[in-house]
Amino acid sequence: MPDAFDPLFDELASINAELASIAVRLATLEERQPAAGGGAGEGAGGGPSDRAAGAPVLWRSMSAEQQASLWPEFVTWVVWLADAYELTTEQLPRQCCWQHASVVEELTALWTSHSSAYASEEDVGASPYLWQDALARAIERINRNWLGGCVNGFHEPKSRIPFADAAYRTELLEAGPPGEAELPDPAEPTEPAEPPPAAD
């Protein structure tokens, strides 16, 4: 004999499933809101920008005006990231992170991939999880590879000879790509090396 409460329980299960779906959609929308932590779509002063979620940002190819327009959005996101994930100055030097081009590139990649991961309504589970994994690896790389001797609030750039030197560039351009004479032809058999002389 059917229970009189079965229709009520079925209706409650349906409402619960609908509420779960709404919660997922609400979380996605909150991630997109500027006030919720500097997600995609903020321009200078925190207002909306025309940049699509996850659109790549190549700072060196932008005009000064484009950089000036996008930089506040980027900075807002980086500050949100550092506070939300409780990054220490050893992980991301507060005093000079913007002075390291490699750190800016790493953070920019994280920024654009974050907005892309949370913009998708089709893959709401895997993309954010994969972004969290990328974040952990990026923070490790920033600390291990991209910083100089920046510790305890002091900026100490790496000791290195820059490649962007006019004389070095000229030397590379004049050298040209490896010539055919320098590379062995795979079609030609190589001569076997002569055996070493026998010991007496």
* Residue 69, domain member (yes or no): yes
178 inside domain: no
Return d(Cα 6, Cα 200) in angstroms, integer.
Answer: 101
- Within a domain: residue 194? no
The residue range of the domain holding 152 is 29-159
For residue 118, tell me if it sits in a domain: yes
* Helix/strand number for the chain, H first, E second: 5, 0
Q: For residue 154, what are the β-bridge partners? A: 151
How many domains does one find in the chain?
Answer: 1
2, part of any domain? no
56 Cβ neighbours under 8 A, 6+ residues apart: 112
Q: Could you list the pLDDT tens digit for every one of the 200 residues in the chain?
A: 667 777 777 777 777 777 676 766 656 655 654 433 344 444 434 444 567 777 889 999 999 999 999 999 999 999 999 999 999 888 888 887 888 888 899 999 999 999 888 886 666 678 888 999 999 999 988 877 766 667 666 667 666 677 778 888 888 888 888 865 555 666 766 666 566 666 66
In a domain, 186, yes or no: no
Structural domain contains residue 137: yes
Q: What is the token pair recorded at 155?
A: 């900026």
Structural domain contains residue 128: yes
How far is residue 98 from each of residues 41, 79, 114, 146, measured CA to CA in Å?
Answer: 21, 12, 19, 12
Global pTM? 0.57
Q: How far apart are the first and last CA of the chain?
A: 105
Helix ranges, the chain (H): 6-32, 64-84, 101-119, 126-141, 166-175
Give the separation between CA 138 and CA 119, rounded to whole angstroms.
21
